[in-house]
Amino acid sequence: MSLTTQDVWDAIGDSIFGVLGFANQSCEPRTAGVCFVTDGRALLMTSGADSWKVRHIACNPNVSMTITVPKRIPFLPFIKIPAATITFKGDAEILAVTDVDNSAVARLFRGLELDRKVVEDTRIIRLVPRGDFVTYGIGMPTMRMRKPAAATGRAPCETEQPQPLVTS
């Protein structure tokens, strides 16, 4: 079975947490755990408008993301198994909440009501993957993950050019 781009996007769509990698203004590496939602072929996540994450990404939009996908053996949940992973590089963009479609904002904030202060103090990071997804354990049985060479995969991101944002 060969890994497809759609297999990877399906796994990303079933996930909500990843680790975002970026560089600070001194070009030192930094990472941050983030919750995200998919929006077409992009990921959306939130951060404070004056956060270091937003400041660093605004200066250098080249980022990386690693998403973990929990794995377990049916009927033997007590056996610890490494998570499957999806890693990719991409281009990040910092947006105001009002610049993003209302339905995407509702999914991103998971139904929380947003008052004016939250909208003003929050930024949305839009991440568009580029290049290839590099995976471990995606789209395969858990037992196959015992052989790392057989468990690794690669699929093109096949990301189209970012579409203009439409606000509602």
Q: Read off the amino acid at residue 65.
A: M
The pTM of the full predicted model, rounded to 2 decimals, is 0.86
Pairs from 32-38 (Cβ < 8 Å, separation ≥ 24): 34/125, 36/108, 36/127, 37/104, 37/107, 37/108, 38/9, 38/12, 38/13
Q: Is the pLDDT at 168 greater than 60, yes or no?
A: no
Q: What is the pLDDT of residues 143-164, one digit of tens each?
A: 788 888 888 999 999 854 444 4
What end-to-end distance do the CA atoms of the chain give, in Å?
A: 41
Could you tell me how many residues make up the chain? Answer: 168
Q: Read off the amino acid at residue 12.
A: I
Q: Considering the chain, what is the average pLDDT of its residues?
A: 88
Cβ partners under 8 Å of residue 88, min gap 6: 64, 65, 129, 130, 131, 132, 133, 134, 157
Q: Is the pLDDT at 72 greater than 60, yes or no?
A: yes
The confidence score (pLDDT) of residue 25 equals 86
Domains and CATH numbers, the chain: 5-151 (2.30.110.10)
| 79's tokens | 């056996």
Q: What is the pLDDT of residues 11-54, one digit of tens each?
A: 999 999 999 999 988 889 999 999 999 999 999 999 999 999 99
What is the average pLDDT across 112-122? 86
The confidence score (pLDDT) of residue 167 equals 45
The confidence score (pLDDT) of residue 134 equals 96
Q: What is the pLDDT of residues 75-104, one digit of tens each?
A: 777 878 888 999 999 999 999 999 999 899
What's the CA gap between 39 and 28, in Å, rounded? 29
